Every structure is written in C-alpha cells, then in structure tokens.
Amino acid sequence: MALSLPLHVETRGLAPGEGVDTFVLVHGYGGSSFSWRYWLPALEPRGHVVLVDLKGFGDAPRPDDGRYAPNDQAELVHRYVLQRDLRRVTLVGHSLGGGVALLTALRLLDERPPRLARLVLVAGAAYRQKLPPFVSFAHRPFLSRLLMSVLGPRRVVRWVLRTIVYDSSRISRAQVEGYARTLAIRGTTTALIQSALQVVPQDLDAVVARYRELNVPALLLWGRQDRAVPLSVGERLARDLPDATLVVLERCGHLPAEELPDESVAVLRAFLDRTSGSPTAAPDAHRTRER
C-alpha cells in the first residue's frame, strides 16, 4: 500500500479492526524502528503494531524542505493515524520520539470517536533542558558534516552510544550496524542538522500547559543514569500527567529498551496487563511495509 506521507512504516502483529489495540512506536533522534526490536515479541500478540521511521530517519524519505521540527513530525504521525482510521491507540515514544508522541497525543484529544488509549514514554523529551552532546553538536553544520565524512557512520554511532548508555562494554557490533545502516543514506546529515536546529518546539510553554489534558494511562520508563534526558524530566512528567506511572531502571542509561530488554519488557507487559485486562488473543498476524 502506497504511503502518501514522508514516513516509512512497517506493521506487525494483528490486523487493525474493531476491538484491536494499536501500538504506534516512534524512535528517537538519529534512530529508527530498529530501536524497538526487543519489544516487538511482547507487542505483536496484543494488537496492531505500527513501526514508524520519522521523516529524515531510518528508511523514510529525506526531503530538503527544512520542516523537521517535532510539531512537523507529530503532524505526520497524526495524519497517518487518521488515514488508516486507527483506534485504541497506544503511542510509544523514545527520547525525541517521546516528545513527538506527546504532541501527537494532544492532536488526538479532540478526535471523535476517541482514538488515544495510552501513552508509553521511554526517556521522553518533554521540557526545556540542556541538549545532549550528540544533538548540540549538530548545531554546527560544517563540523557535523566533516565529522560524518571523516569518521563514517559506524564510528559516529559507536561514539554516540558510548555517551548515552550505562555500560559501554555491552555495545554490540550488531547494535552499531543497525543504526549505522540508515545513517549512511544520502540526506541523513542534513536531516540530523535540521532536526537539531528545530528540536525545541517554538510553542513549548503552551504545549507543557496542556499535558494535564492527557488523562489516559501513561507509563514513564527511565534509566536511573540517563545523561541525555535526565530522570528529573520523568519525575516532572509524572506530576504533570494525570494518570502516570514512573518506573526507574537501575544501572541503565538512555536506552532502557536496549540496555535492559528483559526488565523493560516486563515493565511494559505489566503496564499493558493493568490497563487493558488480559492480552488480546492473536488470530491472523500480518506484516507490511509502507512508504
């Protein structure tokens, strides 16, 4: 099925339909749906799983149109949900993708019938904060291009991972290759720079004031040693969202779904069981790719 949006989408699990939960997974800055590889087995039997590569990242198109702000990305995800008439939506976002998930959730609030069921924010960006080095460095376009050209995607990925995980000795070659593959696609560096320059929404104060409207169950999952989006962000979100549960994983940095896959999956399953009853029985599974 052709996708009339500058996103790349893969779907897994159950076919969408009446009574079927939909999980829309949104990766972080410079990432892709590769980030969710450990969570897929837990989600596929429970509903319709939508893996989104945001505009400019993963296998998505990289138009040089300058529209890479979080609001631009959220508008695209929102439009996808409406185009596919997805219901019972659980938005799952990591890091920058958490910010995109929050912005998408606010767009879904006024939809009738209601579409938003839950939020899962994994080290999600939500407030003004000090930018992590790999984002702030992209504010220097010439140096960013030079770094990518001289070092190459693999060494850049390994450097970034070392700055954000708790235990850098556990970084694997497969993990580096998984992220480096799409960073090598033409136009990625421009997308990284444009996203970094626009990473703070211009209307952030107004957005933050609306968080209290998101009265759906929300799981906030954080690593205690997160140096990119610190735990204080999760603690503030837990106060601002009406129905939020904050879970903190020890000896974990910015990538809970990858650094501690078993522990993070257990937290996810417990949250889904608590907020939806018993898991959905799985009839016919399916898998598609859209672009």
Q: Residue 127 carries which DSSP code? A: S
Q: Residue 113 carries which DSSP code? A: S
Preceding peptide of 6 cis, ω within 30° = no
- Dmax over CA atoms of the chain, in Å, equals 53
CA–CA separation, 139 vs 124, rounded Å? 21
Instruction: Identify which of 95, 32, 131 has the alpha carbon closest to the alpha carbon of residue 256.
Output: 95
Tens of pLDDT along 141-160?
767 777 777 788 899 999 99
Q: What is the pTM of this model?
A: 0.92
β-sheet with 288-290: strand ranges across: 244-249, 218-223, 116-122, 89-94, 21-26, 47-53, 8-13, 288-290
Tens of pLDDT along 156-202?
999 999 999 999 999 999 999 999 999 989 999 999 999 999 999 99
SS3 52: strand
171: how many CB neighbours lie within 10 A of its CB? 17
Architecture (CATH level 2) of domain 8-130+201-290: 3-Layer(aba) Sandwich (3.40)
CA–CA separation, 41 vs 209, rounded Å? 36
